[in-house]
Amino acid sequence: MIRRIAALLVCVLVVSGLGGCGGGAHMFAVKAVAAAVPSLAPFFDEKQGLGQDANVRSMPVQGSLQQGDTPGLYGGTKKPTVCDVAKLKRFLSDPANHQKAVAWSSVLGITTDGIPAYLDRLTPVLLRHDTLVQNHDYKKGKATPYNSLLQAGIAILVDEQGEPAAKCSCGNPLRPFKGDAGRISVKFADGNKKWHGYEASSVVAVRPAPRKMERLALVDVGDPNRGIERPVGSTGRHDTAFDTRKQHAVPNLAGSTFGQARRQLVDSGLAVGYGGSTLPPDDAQVTATDPPAGTELRFGAYVMLSVSGGTSGGATSTPPSSPSSGPTTTGPTLGPPTSTPPHSTPTKPPPTSSSPPPSSPTNEPPPSSSSPTTATPSTATATATFTTGSPSSVTKSPPTSAPVTSSAPVTSVPVTSSAPVTSSASTSRDPVTDSPTTTET
């Protein structure tokens, strides 16, 4: 009897904490990494000033996976040397640190001789969201992987497709988080106390952009009205500024494929997201947008896409429940993914009815002429959004007169994860009317 009671208690604990007995969904253990808190076993001595984190509150996201070229996914600042790439290069090239260089390069799939050239292609940014990664400590001469949640404000280096590659302050190499971002159990320990504003629904994991980028579209973490256009591989000395409040009309996307619509939105400075745990197929047909075509939005504002059908790049999924419409101080309030696992067969096209929109910041209400609503179709519902958390009016991204991404073909592998992925590409914008501003991260 005692054994049976013990077994029942274990089952209850598993159901409440790990998703159920008998092989059900489970939680992914993740270690919290707070900004400005030293790592226990870093690759690089953090007292040497390799990187400087910032005080940034995480912004909510719609869709737990975001692609690396999403407009406004990352931030920047006017503060210089938040990430000293040259110092990291010297450290890993020093023969005295050869063993660390071998471990570091093995994580990133390069040779030790290729480290300098690889670092030259990386770009320093600041996280604007609590971000899931596969982190690596240096223990007993080897890189030891573990899942971690990096707090918003941490300085990192990203590659040409926007994927996190290294944590600036300690040099630890980073790789994509391989679990389900919607089912995580975060451990706040070792000085990494639970930070103010942490919300599980605001956590994001990053996947590579479909193609290599020439520039990153960042948002100044100290002034959300100011955008930063940073050439890939630069440290901030060649930044130019643009106004994130500039308006841009939502393109007419009805009848296009999800992949085509995603590209058009990103080229317009609008970020793509979704409420479920599965990315709609690239060949799924867009049936409606909300707000409708022609609506004027600011840089990174959400545009919701209703889609139906499609066979490649993922399967359709049951749409999530509508997010809360209550305002927040940093961006839309988004609940955790609620969609069911993807099915192999498409479902019928979505209805035309809609529900309340994602919430927007208290200082950035939606346009009075057209309040966005969330479609609730029976097939996958995609939403595109990103907020900068500042101006009182919803405006669009800067113009796209100069290309941002390169003409290189798509290099990423189709995502088959059960968690959603946004696809977007850095946009090209004209600088603000006054002279370009030089910044550095």
C-beta separation of 39 from 137 below 8 A: yes
Which of 243, 246, 286, 264 minimizes the C-alpha distance to 380?
A: 286
Do you know the residue count of the chain? 441
State the pLDDT at residue 144: 97
Ramachandran sector of residue 405 (left: φ over 0; alpha: ψ -120 to 50; beta: rest): beta
Q: Which residues pair with 368 in a beta bridge?
A: none
Q: H-helix or E-strand containing 260?
A: helix 258-267
H or E element in which residue 93 lies: helix 85-93
CB 426 within 8 A of CB 69: yes
Model pLDDT for residues 133-188, shown as the tens digit of each residue: 999 999 999 999 999 999 999 999 999 999 999 999 999 999 999 998 889 999 99
As a whole number of angstroms, the distance between CA 357 and CA 279 comes to 19
Phi, psi for 78 (deg, rounded to 5): -80, -15
Note the pLDDT tens digit of each residue in 251-292. Answer: 998 999 988 988 898 899 987 767 666 678 889 898 888 888
331: left (phi over 0), alpha (psi -120 to 50) or beta: left
What is the spatial distance between Cα 68 and Cα 80, in angstroms, rounded to a whole number? 23
pLDDT tens, position by position, 223-236:
999 999 999 999 98
Among 129-143, 317-331, 338-352, 387-401, name the most confident range: 129-143
The residue whose two tokens read 């930044």 is 239
pTM given for the model = 0.67
User: Looking at residue 163, what DSSP letter applies?
Assistant: -
Task: For residue 421, give every residue at least 6 positions away whose Cβ sits within 8 Å of its Cβ, in sequence order, or none.
Answer: 63, 65, 66, 67, 207, 279, 415
Token couple for 45: 């001595």
In this predicted structure, what is the pLDDT of residue 5? 54
Q: How far apart are CA 107 and CA 104, in angstroms?
A: 6
CA distance 227 to 73: 12
Phi-psi region of 214 (alpha: psi -120 to 50; beta: other; left: phi over 0): alpha
Burial classification of residue 124, based on how many CB atoms lie within 10 Å of its CB (0-12 exposed, 13-18 middle, 19 or more buried): buried
My answer on whether omega of the bond before 291 falls inside 30° of 0, hence cis, is yes
pLDDT score for 159: 98
Q: Is the pLDDT confidence value at 41 over 70? A: yes
**Distance separating alpha carbons of residues 291 and 108, to the nearest angstrom:** 41
| pLDDT confidence band for 301 (50 / 70 / 90) | confident
Cβ of 333: how many Cβ atoms within 10 Å? 19
Q: What is the pLDDT of residue 271?
A: 79
Residue with tokens 């949640």: 149
Q: What is the dihedral of CA 313, 316, 321, 322, to 10 degrees?
A: 60
Lowest mean pLDDT among 237-251, 258-272, 348-362: 348-362
pLDDT > 90? residue 438 = no
Distance of CA 255 to the CA centre of its chain: 27
pLDDT at 288: 84
Counting residues of the chain whose pLDDT is more than 70, the rounded percentage is 63
Between the two ends of the chain, the Cα-to-Cα distance in Å is: 63
Q: Are 258 and 382 in contact (CB under 8 A)?
A: yes
Confidence of residue 60 (pLDDT cuts 50, 70, 90): confident
CA 192 to CA 186: how far, in whole Å? Answer: 11
Tokens matching residue 432: 């603000």
What pLDDT does 193 receive? Answer: 95
Q: Is the pLDDT of residue 52 over 80?
A: yes
Tens-place pLDDT, residues 362-421: 334 444 333 333 333 433 444 444 344 433 333 344 444 344 443 334 333 443 333 343
Q: What's the chain's average pLDDT?
A: 74
For residue range 82-116, list pLDDT tens digits in order: 899 999 999 999 999 999 999 999 999 999 999 99
Question: What is the reported pLDDT for 353?
Answer: 38
Q: 71, 216 in Cβ contact below 8 A?
A: no
190 Rama sector, left if φ>0, alpha if ψ -120 to 50, beta otherwise:
left
